[in-house]
A and B are shown apart, each in its own frame.
Chain A
Amino acid sequence: MVTLEKMARLATECRFDCLGEGSVEAAEGLNSSAAEEAAGHPAARIAAGNMAEGLDQRKLATLGEGTRHDVCASTFSPRSRPLPGICHAFTQDGRCVSLFKTLYTNLCSHQCGYCSNSAGCKGKNQAFSYAPEELAAITLSLYRGNYIEGLFLSSGAGRDEERITEKMLDTVRLLRQKHSFSGYIHLKILPGSSESHIQEAMMLADRVSINLEAASASHMSEICSTKSYESDILQRQRYIHRFMTEMRSEVGQAVLPAGQTTQMVVGATGESDEEIFRRVIFEYDEIKVKRTYYSAFSPQRGTLLEGRQAQPVWRERRLYQMDWLYRIYRFRPSEIGYAFDDCGFLPNADPKLAIAREFLDLPLDPSTASYRQLLRVPGIGPKSARRIIARREKHPALSRRELAALGVQIKRASPFLKINGWTEGTLEMWQA
């Protein structure tokens, strides 16, 4: 039987905790750092536990706001024990907040027409920047308080992207090496970063990403005149892919366990969904990105593209569905092509339904259909398809009620199924 006294003794004897030696110093500073506080340095005050006083909250909010269109809620990393991602909060738009998503600085020399941090943006009032110690201290405090699972660090390019990248790497180095931080880290690679910086970022982070933003070089030049699509972005993505392959074969360890990802702004330059889709296929097949994220264009105050029309959020959702069909359901690009209309756009309807209408001429019998065939039916996903196959080994005839209990969305699936010899009549069939 363990007593509280014994636990207290064990905890006291422990020289440093999982956050390392540095964090014990910081934690000890929580109690007796009057001298540091007197020094008035924000990082010292943060270490002293007086977060709200030590830090300009406007800075925190501004640098946080700079990343609110950056999407990545995943915290899964095979480096640690595989656990489902934990979402510590959700915003009122329903999106998960599991990482401390922030910019290192909002000062930027690029002139991206969609971005509120760009050099030409008239709506930007003040430039802010963190110090590596300050950012590491905030991350540690929020991590220890169980507010976050890790850090998502992006940045404006500042006056020199190499210098900013170095500062970002200093922050991550502090976290990983001084504080033995085992949380998740997602680092944004700034366009134009050097190979050596990219390599170091890959050794320290769980995931790195470089934003593609546009579907092609011509679209890119329309939204940003200062970035080269080929050399600043695609070339860097190829470095990452090459390093990853080399290091995995040489070192034999899990370098960059959560891989690289990318993100696209949807609809800033009138590009079609088909163009985006073609680029995405290239990214998955050639660059081997783990995921592509989409962000529907929304004009920001004071930016060059302020006057353009915002894109509906459903467009983003349909692109995610299409992405899912390609990655998870393993649909062929030629099949997915049927979901686009004549102008290359996805209508506001489930793309899987449009593809099923094209390919499923005859209703499928769930008692005999293969896994791949079942996946083609709207309302049946990988999980329910697997369950159907497992269930029919013991009970060959499946009823509607049974299918519904196995997770099939029966209303959507039934027009494409022949259940116990019966097919549901649809208006379309009568029209045909």
Chain B
Amino acid sequence: MRCGSNYSFYLSLHREFNERLAARVVLIRPEDLEISLKREDIRIRKMADDVAGEVHRMKAFVRLSSLSPNILYGFMKSRHRIGEHVCEHFARRNEGIIVVLGNGRESWICLCRDGRIWRERGSGLEESLGLLKSALNIEESGQDLAGAGLKRINLDRLWQAYYDSQYCPERKNLAAFNRRMPRRDQEAAGMRLVQNKRNASLDDFI
């Protein structure tokens, strides 16, 4: 994934981004960076591409569940500081709905309404959802995380049935699959691994 002309933005989201890099970024134009062969410029390019790649894969692989008609949430544990950016993407896609992304340590909350964006950061995902539940006066019964989790499992099952139907065994190409869907990113997005679903497992016989 190439960051293109927006490289300074992606670079600023890199986990190793610092003031020295920020000063360097001001001096170099995107078109010059693309053809520069200086060691540091190549490193900057790689860093920005790495972030752009992770942003793209998180936008693709993070799955959202509905806690109530007003809240969607999903698990995400990224390597770079992209939480807010990805959360904003989902908020724009689901206007009028609060989107919460996060993991055990941190979470990002976004709402897009009439083209405006509201953002908030929180601690763990569970905690943020708890706070939102009380703010929205969502009762515990039937609206809790377990209930939402069940719906998510049902939707996952539906998706899995469809996903399996798309596979052509005569075209099997695991190398391409692994290249395009790295295990690391699947795990970062809290995805159930979809590989080898058509192969029989020990569970099938027990």
A-B contact count (CB 8 A): 198
Does B131 count as interface, using CB distance less than 8 angstroms? yes
1/0 per position for A171-204, CB-CB distance to B under 8 A? 0000000000000000000000000000000000
1/0 per position for B102-137, CB-CB distance to A under 8 A? 000000010101000011101000001001100110
Q: Output the least CB separation between A398 and chain B (Å).
A: 10
The docked-state distance in angstroms from the alpha carbon of A409 to that of B179 is 20
Contact of A387 with B34 at beta-carbon distance under 8 Å, contacts A6-B118, A8-B132, A146-B63 already known: yes
1/0 per position for A1-33, CB-CB distance to B under 8 A? 011111110111010111100001001101100
The docked-state distance in angstroms from the alpha carbon of A255 to that of B159 is 31
Count of chain B residues with a beta carbon within 8 Å of a chain A beta carbon: 71
A28 touches B69 (CB 8 A): yes
Q: Output the least CB separation between A368 and chain B (Å).
A: 17
Which listed residue (A6, A31, A57, A313) contacts B161, Cβ 8 A?
A57
A93 touches B119 (CB 8 A): no
Interface residues in A114-128 by Cβ distance below 8 A to B read none
A86 touches B35 (CB 8 A): no
Interfacial chain A residues near B180, Cβ < 8 Å:
87, 90, 94, 96
Contact of A89 with B181 at beta-carbon distance under 8 Å, contacts A10-B118, A298-B168 already known: yes
The docked-state distance in angstroms from the alpha carbon of A405 to that of B120 is 41
Interfacial chain A residues near B154, Cβ < 8 Å:
49-53
Residue of B nearest to A402 (CB): B37
Does A356 count as interface, using CB distance less than 8 angstroms? no
Does B81 count as interface, using CB distance less than 8 angstroms? no
Q: Output the least CB separation between B185 and chain A (Å).
A: 11
Interfacial chain A residues near B51, Cβ < 8 Å:
none
A405 touches B194 (CB 8 A): no
The docked-state distance in angstroms from the alpha carbon of A27 to that of B66 is 9
Interfacial chain A residues near B111, Cβ < 8 Å:
7, 10-11
Q: List 25 A-B contacts (CB under 8 A).
A: A11-B113, A11-B136, A12-B136, A17-B94, A18-B93, A18-B94, A18-B95, A51-B158, A52-B154, A57-B158, A60-B162, A60-B165, A64-B161, A64-B165, A67-B166, A90-B180, A91-B177, A94-B171, A141-B158, A142-B158, A144-B72, A146-B62, A146-B63, A146-B74, A405-B42
B residues lining the A interface (CB < 8 Å): 31, 34-35, 37, 42, 56, 59-66, 68-72, 74, 90, 93-98, 109, 111, 113, 118-120, 122, 128, 131-132, 135-136, 142-143, 151-152, 154-155, 157-159, 161-168, 170-177, 179-181, 194-196, 198
